[in-house]
Amino acid sequence: MKPSDQITAEGILFTDEYQLTMAQLYYRMGMHERHAQFDYFFRSYPDYNSHKAGYCVNAGLEWLLDWIQAARFREQDVEYLRGQTGRAGERIFDGDFLTWLRGNGTFDGITLRAIPEGRVVHPNVPLAVAQGPLAMAQILETSLLNHLNYPTLIATKAARIHAAGQGRPLLEFGLRRAQERGANAGARAALIGGADFTSNVGISHVLGYPPKGTHAHSMVQVFMALGEGELGAFLAYADVYPDDCLLLVDTIDTLESGIPNAIKVFEELRRKGHEPVGIRLDSGDLAHLSIQAAKMLDEAGFSDTSIVLSNQLDELVIWQILTQIEEEAPRYGVEADHLIDRLVYGVGTRLITSQGASALDGVYKLVAVRDEGEWVPAIKISETPEKTLNPGDKLVWRVYDRRGKATADLLSLDDEDPREVDRVLLHHPTEHTTYRVLDQRDISEAELLLVDVLREGQLIYECPSIEEMRERRRADVERLDPGVKRLVNPHIYHVSLTERLWDLKQELIEIVEEED
Amino acid sequence: MKPSDQITAEGILFTDEYQLTMAQLYYRMGMHERHAQFDYFFRSYPDYNSHKAGYCVNAGLEWLLDWIQAARFREQDVEYLRGQTGRAGERIFDGDFLTWLRGNGTFDGITLRAIPEGRVVHPNVPLAVAQGPLAMAQILETSLLNHLNYPTLIATKAARIHAAGQGRPLLEFGLRRAQERGANAGARAALIGGADFTSNVGISHVLGYPPKGTHAHSMVQVFMALGEGELGAFLAYADVYPDDCLLLVDTIDTLESGIPNAIKVFEELRRKGHEPVGIRLDSGDLAHLSIQAAKMLDEAGFSDTSIVLSNQLDELVIWQILTQIEEEAPRYGVEADHLIDRLVYGVGTRLITSQGASALDGVYKLVAVRDEGEWVPAIKISETPEKTLNPGDKLVWRVYDRRGKATADLLSLDDEDPREVDRVLLHHPTEHTTYRVLDQRDISEAELLLVDVLREGQLIYECPSIEEMRERRRADVERLDPGVKRLVNPHIYHVSLTERLWDLKQELIEIVEEED
């Protein structure tokens, strides 16, 4: 795309056409500056077919804020809209509306609350709440969803892969398989969720993390084609990077050629006073090969070198590799724990595309409209009860039990405080007769999750650093019940309504059904 | 992301770290300006689990060319690299290499051939061939893969969904669920592959297509919250867009409320001299509801209105809907063909993320190195025979049979011409004893697929318009055997080697295995 086109395609027109046709309708009806509230939430955890997430990691807010603050209707954007014609050849957008857009088409009226990046989050909990003039709050929808859905999906996948890897370093390698420039948002989200570094140079620079990488098969192939073989390639690499020597050993044959050649080079490095970093395995049976590699490296006196694994890894593949190592390593005289402690994971495609669940189903739904100085809760009912909205302006509480573990997220009306009552009723969001009651003494903490981010377009929030987001994620994951963290078939975390919110919801459903 | 950061993250540093460490190694060894050839190809068709593609649609080239022509190492990029340190605290990149990069780090030496966008393509066929100085050809890898893999994945998915929809209009609706700014590349690829329009306003503007969209549930909810109900919302919409009135009818109850209200509004529109466009169904049993909707609209005298379907559609869901309509419609006195002819498909998530197969496995592999004025073919063998490279500089031919259908893609050495021999031998790429022979009179045409795009960095190719790419795709799909186009379990299209290329490949494999 040409740079000038990129500015057009990524600015305020980075939205769906229907947001603009609705905005004009609101304008025509005199409703465009009436305040409305939209909740952003996802309906279900990513489901990877054979496994499913039990929690998500929230991400994407900072770059959404960057977009909101820069987006406005430029003259050329308005001119483009002026040229749009409908079926009968008439202009779709009228001059008065376009004049209004040109003068008022910014997000300066939007007030936004949101859950910070890095926090553990769950379905049907508002992760962002936008209030503001109806027309611009509507136009915001598409870009808000775009900026939040994908990063949360990837931060979640990274958290799972990190967990499967038992805390060993996780490198994000997915730039080549991502959705074009979306790769940068993906790499950032991976860092928030659990990756330690990325191979992506540009985004590493921007975020202040050192990028990671050594060499590819092509380097070995070049030396082979010129008659210097794999050993020649390894010697050259060690010569140029004597203190950062990590060699890819599977270009010809891992056990017969790659590792023996690597060991020769490592021995020479050590003679010259340098310690090698390790090897990378990128094909074959990674569990078996890593055991054999460890054995060969141990016997050659390189028992501290890293073994980097790559090639179609994800959380289940890593889990399987570790299980196989634990079973198989002792048979070869290799200590499984020591081997696992030297592993590093390079994960590309399956992380950056969240393979198996390639989208988060986040939505942005109208939950209240301002009328005569009062918020009127709005609802949309559905034949699927789980899809019926939780109406009105709500507070989001995370309730911790006596062990300090998160036991539920609780949605309440905006004047409720579960810390001020003796017994807290947690109502199931859709089933009439299902609820549980917590005694106040069973609750160690009730925490509000949404923070103020924008007040009428003004940023009133200091975005934390990526490192702070990572710390936040570690702390939140630590406070999850182990059952919720299971990779397969996790325990369902409770997202509940207070009794008053439940009653309001039922009342609105009845009104709609009577009108129907 | 801040705009200045975006320039950094999307410029020449939009690459993997190992490309830079390898480039420095080539520089240090005096090999950085030695010419090399890399082939870009994918190894297998997207596999969506329960179904699998039998052909792909090529896309992404034009935006790759835009990137290549703009990318260069700016002073600040080089300064960033200068600051990178290794394990021992030493600088990773030395001053002389960085000086060379700053002065020579462009793609001005790259010569590129490629298959045009919109063409049908198959596994293991080079879709792009880069020749040029080793260091920069290596640095190009990541961005080339990024710019080509994803668009080809999405153009392919769009072609499948278009085919399932029997040629009825297909609208791309995925911006909100895509990988952030990658959404724009996805929408463009969808248009090339089979979508007719997109809801994405900005990219429609850039590409010269009118964006499509009408209204969402939220508009109906606003009117409901203010006491004016669904009918009030529909009347307002018809008032503002009398010639483009397409109403979303499932906010409350499709058959009991939405369609009856839409019909009332349509009748009023017609009294005023306007013809309504139609309705959109976004939930429930879309096959059953579209039959009932057609019946109600027909009975009210609106038998020409469109019925737009959306909600988690993909090629199998559309196929199922059409099958169900064909079976069920007659029972309700609705003519199935007439109903199908009024359908329009809005497809979001499952198109823009290629759900089920979220990445194309495209790779960029070294196949030749220039040495003493000669191209030396390079190979990488693999324990999986399908992954062993086809070496050297090759031509790509598409061979058509007497019916004019494509019967095989044939890779040959660069001095071979299958039109000049009586009998063409098509060798299976990996199985020693499998081949077929075509008599020249069985061949109606043998076409070269790669075209010259860049000559030493200079663009010598005029990118076709999106409409021309769409036309190219239609023509290529038309020339595929019906078995290859099956949505499920397609016939395998032949990608073959000439006898001489097969012999070269075997020779190189033997050399590597002897060295091993």
Instruction: Name the helix (H) or strand (E) containing B198.
Output: strand B197-198
Q: Which residues of B touch A306 (CB under 8 A)?
A: none
Confidence of residue B380 (pLDDT cuts 50, 70, 90): confident
Please report the residues numbered 128 through 147 in chain B whose beta carbons come closer than 8 angstroms to any beta carbon of chain A. Answer: 134, 138, 141-142, 145-147
Give the integer Cα–Cα distance in Å for A75 and B354: 35
Confidence of residue B516 (pLDDT cuts 50, 70, 90): low
**pLDDT at A384 > cutoff 90:** no
Burial class (CB in 10 A: 0-12, 13-18, 19+), B268: middle
Q: Does B360 touch chain A (CB under 8 A)?
A: yes
Q: Does A510 touch chain B (CB under 8 A)?
A: no
Instruction: Name the helix (H) or strand (E) containing B330.
Output: none
Q: How many CB pairs under 8 A join A and B?
A: 377
Find the mean pLDDT for residues B421-448: 95
Instruction: Return the CA Rg of chain B.
Output: 27
pLDDT at residue B515 in the model: 67
Q: Does A232 touch chain B (CB under 8 A)?
A: no
Q: Residues 6 or more apart from A353 whose CB is under 8 A from it?
A: A174, A177, A178, A179, B179, B353, B358, B359
Find the mean pLDDT for residues B391-398: 94
Q: Residues 6 or more apart from B18 whose CB is under 8 A from it?
A: A199, A213, A214, A215, A216
Find the mean pLDDT for residues B309-334: 97
Q: Does A372 touch chain B (CB under 8 A)?
A: no
Q: Which residues of B touch A222 (CB under 8 A)?
A: 26, 31, 36, 134, 366, 369, 378
Q: What single-letter DSSP state applies at residue B458?
A: E
- For B349, name the nearest residue in chain A, comparing CA atoms only: A359
**pLDDT at A71 > cutoff 80:** yes
> In this predicted model, which residue has the larger pLDDT, B391 or B267?
B267
Name which of A119, A151, A153, A157 is nearest A345 in CA terms.
Answer: A157
Whether the CB-CB separation of B197 and B212 falls below 8 Å is answered with: yes
Give the integer Cα–Cα distance in Å for B111 and B129: 8
Q: Rounded to a whole number, what is the distance in Å from the CA of A468 to chain B's nearest CA?
A: 18
Give the integer Cα–Cα distance in Å for B392 and B39: 9
Find the mean pLDDT for residues A442-457: 97
Instruction: Name the helix (H) or strand (E) containing B109.
Output: none
Residues above pLDDT 70, as percent of chain A: 100
Q: Does B41 touch chain A (CB under 8 A)?
A: no
Residue type for position B373: G
**pLDDT at A353 > cutoff 70:** yes
Interface with B, mutate which of A39, A179, A248 (most B CBs under 10 A): A179
Distances (CA, A) of A128 to A112, A145, A363, A462, A515: 7, 10, 11, 16, 31
Give the integer Cα–Cα distance in Å for B191 and B177: 17
pTM confidence score: 0.98
Instruction: Name the helix (H) or strand (E) containing A121.
Output: strand A120-121
B369 contacts A222? CB cut-off 8 A: yes
Q: What is the phi/psi pair of residue A107, to 5°?
A: -100, 25
Q: Which residues of A touch B150 (CB under 8 A)?
A: 177-180
Q: Rounded to a whole number, what is the distance in Å from the CA of B415 to chain A's nearest CA?
A: 21
Instruction: Name the helix (H) or strand (E) containing B31.
Output: none
Q: Which residues of B touch A65 (CB under 8 A)?
A: none
A360 contacts B177? CB cut-off 8 A: yes
Q: What is the phi/psi pair of residue B436, to 5°?
A: -135, 160
Burial class (CB in 10 A: 0-12, 13-18, 19+), A50: exposed
Per the structure block, which two tokens stand in for A19?
A: 């947001």
Give the integer Cα–Cα distance in Å for A122 and A43: 9
Q: What is the ipTM score, two decimals? A: 0.97
B376 contacts A205? CB cut-off 8 A: no
Q: Does A377 touch chain B (CB under 8 A)?
A: yes
Residue type for position B234: F
Residue among B28, B181, B224 whose CB faces A10 most closely: B181
Find the mean pLDDT for residues A241-265: 97
Find the mean pLDDT for residues B13-29: 98
